[in-house]
Structure 1
């Protein structure tokens, strides 16, 4: 199992997201992919955002650094070092994006330019965000490839993305992201399509770099096992909203939201052979037709009258939940923590 450092409130807060919303215009109708999401992040902390596909996880990351506003409308606040990134002009945001806040995208083969060598792609970040000269950029590029575990780094600078395996391409993406020593790394499902062994290597690499560099990380994943092994805190998303947040161990061992409990019960653990696996009934809601009340109500066997009519607020202190009929401590659940 991977080990992540315990982050306490003594660490300074570096990111404060308040009422972040992202909408897209489709056929004249505003579709809200992220709906009034609020959370914070401390220095050196690893925050996991989990949920099914379509819950708004990746759009949330893109909205933080302004990538979503190219195609939609982003409102709310993303407070970073005393400035609201949502209100920042694009030319000023470019100075933050890639330098102070870097991002690893989900699929490295489509994120890397197939026509440029790996060395040139790392160099683009260094040209934009550092004052290094050409020899300095080359030395830094070799250093970065060595840092992420790519052998024979000097010679591999001239290779193209297709000459690397999937795990090595993901390491190249991490090297590009780390080029200018960011204070925050946004990792959008960095282990997708990788085998289990490579997954563990990539996650360990990210955690080790976070610890060594004092870098905060927001990790998007749909894998609760990954989240349990890597994250200090969890934020569970559904239908574009946060439905539960808290310390990872507490959320996984004593989930309060029925959706979180369903995700945990979907993880196979100590079951007999040929036993039917649990799955949440129904499918995630379409943004074209979101329920009036709680988005999870149509799939929930424990919904009450308010669930169909009102959107539950996210309430609580350290462990928050948005549910009119939360679970109680006596209800059985299977955990992965």
Structure 2
């Protein structure tokens, strides 16, 4: 692994779980590079390994799960850190927004206590300073009447406001890397738009990098600089958002984009990906996507394609990616 000292650099990340049907590899050889100040999208269907990837990065996968690989943050090896050093890193330099705030927030503690818990662990602030910072954070994330709401409980907030509280907790110690696990899921489109604009503003204000996990390609288009597409625990395509949306080179990416409505006067049928994702404990031989792929050949059924670069800044794991791109251009 290279000795880069800026940003996040991941090589060969794997997360394996023991199941009655045998080992299930939820994350399989993931490589990522996240530059300082970059917003990176990680997309795919439910069960593709996106959320487990974030937890594996933070070493939040516990037995019967097992994590392997190399994760370097600003030149330091997260996988080799001692528990106390890792605790200082989590919530301090690297923060995470979990997918469902109602289960991530403690229902019996006021939100002020939950924000101050982060500050107590990662700063030298006294009690008065922590309360002032908690109030400032609620203002930053756009919660009205913040002084009054500091001592309210999670159930007294709406879904969008709870998500803002989660963001406030994550930002308490001014992290340099934010891992956001579908933070806009189940929110109405108005609140979702507010949250996305908030994240971009905070990215600029705090100069932080963001890894944004989602299955919503519209969110990726409006928020992210680069993206990676995951399927069955592996990254199958990477590139800038504009390049991948314009010319997908993996049939799975093409299928995802084809299932999204496009603007225009002419009404057209949406495409769909036939079949369902495979079970992680019983992946098919060769390319995991071949049972659902219209471009599959015998080579795809025998061998698993590696993720390889085909243009500056772009990679794909497909033997027939040029055919896929041509088909997209002709569609």
TM-score (norm 1): 0.92
Counterpart CA distance in 2 for 1:165 and 1:192 is: 14
In structure 2, list runs of 5 or more residues that go unmatched: none
Helix, strand or coil at the partner of 2:254: helix
Mapped contact 1:247–1:318 kept (Cα < 8 A): yes
Tell me if 1:245 matches 2:246.
no
Aligned pairs, number: 325
* Cα shift at 1:273: 9.0
Cα distance, 1:236–1:89 mapped onto 2, change above 3 Å: same
Residue range with higher mean Cα deviation, 29-38 or 89-98: 89-98
Structure 1 equivalent of residue 182 of structure 2: 189
Tell me if 1:46 matches 2:24.
no
Residue 201 of structure 2 is aligned with which of 203, 208, 213?
208
Structure 2 equivalent of residue 21 of structure 1: 14
* Cα shift at 1:36: 0.3
Q: How does 1:183-332 map to 2 (within 5 A)?
A: 183-270=176-263, 276-316=269-309, 317-328=312-323, 329-332=325-328
* Cα shift at 1:311: 1.1
Tell me if 1:137 matches 2:130.
yes
* Cα shift at 1:79: 0.5
Tell me if 1:35 matches 2:51.
no
Mapped contact 2:5–2:75 kept (Cα < 8 A): no
Counterpart CA distance in 1 for 2:254 and 2:269 is: 18
Mapped contact 1:167–1:194 kept (Cα < 8 A): yes
Counterpart CA distance in 2 for 1:146 and 1:71 is: 41
Mapped contact 2:5–2:73 kept (Cα < 8 A): no
* Cα shift at 1:119: 0.4
* Cα shift at 1:331: 2.4
In structure 1, list runs of 5 or more residues that go unmatched: 1-10
* Cα shift at 1:82: 2.0
Q: How does 1:74-223 map to 2 (within 5 A)?
A: 74-223=67-216
CA shift digits 1:180-236 (9 cap, x unpaired): 000000000010000000000001101110011100000001011110111000000
Structure 2 equivalent of residue 7 of structure 1: none
Residue range with higher mean Cα deviation, 65-74 or 204-213: 65-74
Please provide the CA RMSD for this pair.
Answer: 1.9
* Cα shift at 1:268: 1.4
Mapped contact 1:304–1:324 kept (Cα < 8 A): no
Helix, strand or coil at the partner of 2:326: coil
Mapped contact 1:264–1:334 kept (Cα < 8 A): no
Helix, strand or coil at the partner of 1:54: coil
Counterpart CA distance in 1 for 2:64 and 2:292 is: 31
Mapped contact 1:265–1:333 kept (Cα < 8 A): no
Helix, strand or coil at the partner of 2:257: helix
Counterpart CA distance in 2 for 1:213 and 1:132 is: 19
